Structure 1
Amino acid sequence: MSALSDAKSETVHIFSSLPSHSRDDLERRLVRKLDLRMSVILLLYALNYIDRANASSARLGGFEKDLHLQGNQYATVLSIIYVGFIVMQVPANMFLHWLEKPAILLPCSMMIWGVVSTLTGGTQNYTEVLFARLLLGFSEAPFFPGTIFLLSGWYKRDELAVRTTLIACGALLSAGFGSLFASGILTGMQGKLGQSAWRWLFYIDGGITVVVAICAIFILPNFPHNTKWLTPEERSLAIARLADDGYGRMDHDKRTTMQGLRNAVSDWKVWWFSVALIIDSMAMSFVIYFPTIVATLRYNTTVTLLLATPPWVLAAIAAFSFARYSDNTKKRYIYIFASNAFAALGFTISICTMNMIARYVSLFLMAQIAAGQIVLWAWVNNTFAREPAKRAVAIAMISGMSATGNIVGSYMWPLNWGPTYRYSYAISFAALGVSTAMLGVMHLHLKRLNEQIERNEQNAKDINDLQDPVGFRYLV
């Protein structure tokens, strides 16, 4: 352990002694190379969302009728996927921290969910599709927390929000362009080889997912200390720049996976974020019913799916803008608050009117909630950044527990509440208010911690007496 620490100290010393412009040039080249490799996650994320959300588009193509779904069975088909998230995300991220091979684990989980998604197209009844969706949840569970953990192992504090956004834009754009893709399949594949068009939707998307997953194995990085396509100079710089960031995020030898679990479970901030995200997920439940909500505008299936695209394109643009300003200003909560305020306005408009234009405008406003979500995950990463083992568990715990809100949200949009869905929007509005208030409390708490850290630095006689690295501050 001491030898490894000495090596890291020597690495930091070597790069700190370089002229600033030389190191900056090296760092820019490293980040560009890393960004190019990481960009494949945008495609992986898009396929992750499409495979999960296919049931929503398939609903417009006879999915419910062909499988003889009744009552709340469709809502259960949507919600069962989150059981796998709740059960598997923490063990999966703990395993990833131990294995240290995201370039293997993430694509392998992707191949499995691609196969499961393909098989979903062959289901014949409620029991079969329910089982398929349950397996889909278990196989998708490692992806989201694993991706967030991978990003935090490479990027500095003020780089995370933009990178998280660039990757998460895959989900935002797939929410829109996935509808275009679904529209083409539902229109053009009906009856091909004796199969309903909605079945082809699962066959084609699942097959594409498997092919992309195989390619991703050769593109994704692991972590700086074990990524083979880095040069020795690049590896040293990747380690040094994170050490200089003041977070100690490369100290893989300091905490075991089980210690990370204990530290995460005993930190009330993890539970606070978890409850806030559970409630926030309820507010975001409209996302999984988006085609159904757009259908209340009373257009045919093709036009409905086409109209579902523009709100998410604007959401992707807004998310990138919010994340960039969030990184530049090193602030998080204010951008989450602004994003949620737009969404709250959208909910309010939909509650108050059935005017077609006003309700379509409200969809653009509601979609802006995605920008705050992405900044929020960067904030979570920042808050638990100093211990990799704890961070792995904290991310997975928060993500897994938030899936509880998705389960509740799946039942918030029953057909008998349509076409106004006023009760659904009202519940979403209330949930958004509570989660925003809870995150505001966390914002104030972290500000107080920063003030205390600053006082400790001013009063410390010996730098070694400090509990936190000099210059360390929580992003708020």
Structure 2
Amino acid sequence: MSLKDEKVAALGFDEKGSDPISSLNFAELPDGELLAPDVRSSAEGQLVRMLDMRLLPTIILIFIMNYIDRLAVTSARLKGLEQDVGLTDIQYSTVLAILYASYIPANIPSNMILNRISRPSYYIAICVVLWGLTSALTGITRNYAGILIARVFVGLPEAAFYPGGVYLLSRWYTKKELSFRSAIFYAGLMISNAFGSLMAAGILSRMEGKLGIRAWRWLFYIEGSITIVIGILAVFILPDYPHNTRWLSPAQRRLAQARLAEDAGEADEDTETDSALQGLVMALKDPKVALFGVMICCLLLGTGFTNFFPTITGTLGFSSTVTLLLAAPPWIFATIVSCINAWHADRTGERYFHMCIPYWFIILGYTIAICTMSVPGRYFSMFLMAGGSAGHALTLVWLANAIPRPPAKRSAAIALANAGGNIGAMISSFVWKVEWSPKYHQSMFVGIAALVLGTSIATVIRVILANENKELERREVRDLTAGEEERVKEAARLEGITYEDAIVQRRGFRYLL
């Protein structure tokens, strides 16, 4: 009789007649006990809830501060930053773009490091503290060179977070769970646009001249300090990997590994030959990675309005405080849309339409904004534009589904696609020019063209994955490579099944379209 069976027999049923299995402390069971069919469902539910309560809130909070720190410049612009630092329009655009000059190249080595180290909780937390400190120091800058340097050193540690966060999620959640959790994660960006505007409105309206310091400087000091505190707390809250997270029992760690192995038919672990460099080479050789990178580049170029949202809202003609308050509701709406869209994507297992349809609504929003300058019409178009950003929550998730194993390749692929994609974000810094305000028609035409191209590339990716699924069906009985065979054997060990059963399970794997 297993330890679980002994506990159940001893407990019997309580006075209310409830099943005592649900009251067991799964964390106390020994390694392998949670894989028993009569316990696994409840134990897996408890494990996922633990992750949802610890991992998700922490990375969401970090993501909120990530974009608040990154976009503080756009809010500070409304309260005299350009005049005090002496920035021209082109210099302001360069200040926005220079962050990506360090952020983009740092993506790839950062994710390669993340895949090889044993404690991602330390790595991510240190990077959060570093960018929070640099963001706070942006408040002391006095000239163009100073703010450029500050922005470069904000972008460098930020490179660890978004692609690293998506990769960390992919190491814990199955492909049917990943989109919704990633959308909740990405919702942090949308909430940051809303919450950041509200926070900025409060600071900029109340802190002007306090201690002889301009309000826009206080904005950087306060927001950067909050980020530092969150980074310190993250060390104790974030998980590491399924095999070594400190606050899980051995049985829970085994279950976490087994369910991912079952999900893809292989253990979610690198073999001895799967080095970080080998993973990078495999990712570079896979044409899907390049297509995802170009697609994300187009989509981020097409959604460049996110970096200028307070400026665009300012074209409605209200004061700076009212402008920042009006910038919040569209992003609250976008957060709700993103979560619903991703939840439905997980329920159906579909990716392409759930990603592309929101971008088509951005095109509609641009079209409305081009056709009218009325306040109601323009503000409605901003809801469509912000809500359409929900599609981006599924881009790297779809990539993680399309490049499932080995982890070394997946981490490099996510970094490559995100780095290439953010070239579009960097270019967009120069698309929303002051001389094109208040209509910004030229900017919106560029956005429409980029979104059409991006969603067309998504169509190509879907066709490729559909063809690869057909190839998997034709080659179910093919011989495995040495690396694949090793990961299948590890999957069998983790799940407590035979190698032959693991092979059968692996043959059921298909890419999500």
Structure 1 length normalisation: TM-score? 0.94
Question: How far does residue 469 in structure 1 lie from its aligned partner after superposition?
Answer: 2.5
Match of 1:132 among 147, 150, 154: 150
Whether the 8 Å contact between 1:315 and 1:364 is mirrored in structure 2 is yes
2 CA distance for matches of 1:327 and 1:381? 14
Tell me the SS of whatever aligns to 1:80: helix
Match of 2:489 in 1: none
Code of the aligned partner of 1:50: I
Query: Alpha carbons of 1:459 and 1:64: their partners in 2 closer, same or farther (altered >3 Å)?
Result: closer
Q: Does 2:436 correspond to 1:417?
A: yes
Match of 1:28 in 2: 45
1 CA distance for matches of 2:372 and 2:387? 20
Question: How far does residue 457 in structure 1 lie from its aligned partner after superposition?
Answer: 2.8
Counterparts of residues 255-294 of structure 1 (less than 5 Å) = 255-294=274-313
Whether the 8 Å contact between 1:153 and 1:249 is mirrored in structure 2 is no
Q: Does 2:388 correspond to 1:369?
A: yes
Match of 2:512 in 1: 475
Match of 1:116 in 2: 134
1 CA distance for matches of 2:54 and 2:88? 45
Question: How far does residue 455 in structure 1 lie from its aligned partner after superposition?
Answer: 2.6
Whether the 8 Å contact between 1:453 and 1:468 is mirrored in structure 2 is no
Match of 2:229 in 1: 211
Whether the 8 Å contact between 2:89 and 2:434 is mirrored in structure 1 is no
Tell me the SS of whatever aligns to 1:228: coil
Whether the 8 Å contact between 2:299 and 2:450 is mirrored in structure 1 is yes
2 CA distance for matches of 1:403 and 1:334? 22
Whether the 8 Å contact between 1:249 and 1:388 is mirrored in structure 2 is no
2 CA distance for matches of 1:89 and 1:432? 23
Superimposed CA distance per residue, residues 295-335 of structure 1 (whole angstroms, 9 cap, x where no aligned partner): 00000001100000000001000000000010110010011
Match of 1:355 among 353, 360, 374: 374
Code of the aligned partner of 1:418: S
Structure 2 length normalisation: TM-score? 0.87
Code of the aligned partner of 2:341: F
Question: How far does residue 468 in structure 1 lie from its aligned partner after superposition?
Answer: 9.9
Match of 2:250 among 203, 214, 232: 232
Match of 1:185 among 203, 218, 222: 203
2 CA distance for matches of 1:440 and 1:250? 28
Match of 1:161 among 179, 201, 205: 179
Report how many residues are paired.
Answer: 464
2 CA distance for matches of 1:453 and 1:267? 17
Code of the aligned partner of 1:32: R
2 CA distance for matches of 1:329 and 1:238? 23
CA-based RMSD of the aligned residues comes to 2.1
Whether the 8 Å contact between 2:122 and 2:235 is mirrored in structure 1 is yes
Tell me the SS of whatever aligns to 1:474: coil
1 CA distance for matches of 2:261 and 2:34? 11
2 CA distance for matches of 1:13 and 1:33? 19
1 CA distance for matches of 2:399 and 2:172? 16
Code of the aligned partner of 1:73: Q
1 CA distance for matches of 2:252 and 2:438? 56
Question: How far does residue 213 in structure 1 lie from its aligned partner after superposition?
Answer: 0.5
Match of 1:7 in 2: none
Question: How far does residue 179 in structure 1 lie from its aligned partner after superposition?
Answer: 0.1
Whether the 8 Å contact between 1:247 and 1:469 is mirrored in structure 2 is yes
Q: Does 2:212 correspond to 1:194?
A: yes
2 CA distance for matches of 1:81 and 1:467? 48
1 CA distance for matches of 2:383 and 2:353? 20
1 CA distance for matches of 2:181 and 2:429? 29
Question: How far does residue 364 in structure 1 lie from its aligned partner after superposition?
Answer: 0.3
Question: Larger C-alpha radius of gyration, 1 or 2?
Answer: 2
Query: Alpha carbons of 1:458 and 1:13: their partners in 2 closer, same or farther (altered >3 Å)?
Result: farther
Code of the aligned partner of 2:53: L
Q: Does 2:456 correspond to 1:437?
A: yes
2 CA distance for matches of 1:175 and 1:327? 25
Match of 2:18 in 1: none
1 CA distance for matches of 2:356 and 2:276? 34
Tell me the SS of whatever aligns to 1:457: coil
Structure 1 gap ranges (5+): 1-10
Match of 2:95 in 1: 77
* Structure 1 range deviating more: 317-326 or 371-380: 371-380
Query: Alpha carbons of 1:247 and 1:317: their partners in 2 closer, same or farther (altered >3 Å)?
Result: farther
Whether the 8 Å contact between 2:34 and 2:251 is mirrored in structure 1 is no
